[in-house]
């Protein structure tokens, strides 16, 4: 009798752990309906904004367990767009990103935890050939269904990095060391 109860308990535990493991959903970033934008201070006077036009990524979310959140993103440096082609070429040059040698900016999360109003994700960010640990707070901005019935989730994140942390030359009289990244992502369930 005890062994039969033990088997039932073990089966129930296995079933429940399998159910919670499958509660995480993976979403692909819909690049048509998403933005990767940055803000940097110019000449210690005013901010200017730019964006990256080519990027990809995926996000795994589990409503019941925020620590199961996982984020992977890649951004093509050559797709930088500040609405000024001369400036964009300069930003792609060895003076800044050196896009020919370092064509991607990548982020891959290592851990996540619930924080007030969102999820704090810690991960490795690689830019300009150097990898540093970065923390970013993400917020789920909405959930819904697409026109074809696909499940959608909106994710927003704003965080700041220092260019010098990634071995980039810094001339505070030109562009500030700190750059704020702003992501507005619409993601489609895989």
Q: What is the CATH number of the domain that holds 95?
A: 2.40.128.110
Chain center to CA of 35: 11
pLDDT band at 169 (very low <50, low <70, confident <90, very high): confident
Q: Give the residue with greater pLDDT, 16 vs 36.
A: 36
The answer on pLDDT for 11 being more than 60 is: no
Residue 82 domain-assigned? yes
Structurally, the chain folds into a number of domains equal to: 1
Q: Which class for 175: exposed (0-12), middle (13-18), buried (19 or more C-beta within 10 A)?
A: buried
Does residue 130 sit within a domain? yes
Q: Domain range holding 76?
A: 24-189
Dihedral class, residue 83 (left if φ above 0, else alpha if ψ from -120 to 50, else beta): left
Say if 12 falls within a structural domain.
no
Q: How far apart are CA 57 and CA 60, in angstroms?
A: 10
What is the mean pLDDT of the segment spanning 34-39?
Answer: 98
């Amino acid at each position: 009798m005890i062994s039969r109860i033990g088997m039932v308990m073990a089966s129930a535990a296995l079933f429940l752990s399998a159910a919670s493991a499958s509660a995480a959903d993976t979403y692909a970033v819909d690049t048509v309906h998403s933005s990767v934008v940055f803000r940097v201070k110019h000449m210690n006077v005013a901010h200017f904004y730019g964006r990256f036009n080519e990027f990809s990524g995926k996000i795994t979310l589990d409503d019941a367990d925020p620590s199961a959140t996982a984020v992977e993103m890649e951004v093509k440096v050559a797709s930088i767009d500040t609405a000024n082609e001369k400036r964009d070429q300069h930003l792609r040059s060895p003076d800044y990103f050196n896009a020919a040698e370092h064509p991607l900016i990548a982020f891959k999360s290592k851990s996540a935890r619930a924080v007030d109003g969102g999820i704090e994700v810690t991960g490795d960010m690689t830019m300009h050939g150097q990898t540093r640990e970065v923390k970013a707070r993400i917020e789920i901005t909405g959930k819904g269904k697409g026109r074809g019935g696909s499940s959608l989730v909106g994710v927003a994140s704003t965080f700041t990095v220092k260019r010098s942390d990634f071995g980039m030359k810094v001339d505070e009289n030109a562009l500030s060391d700190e750059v704020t990244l702003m992501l507005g992502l619409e993601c489609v369930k895989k």
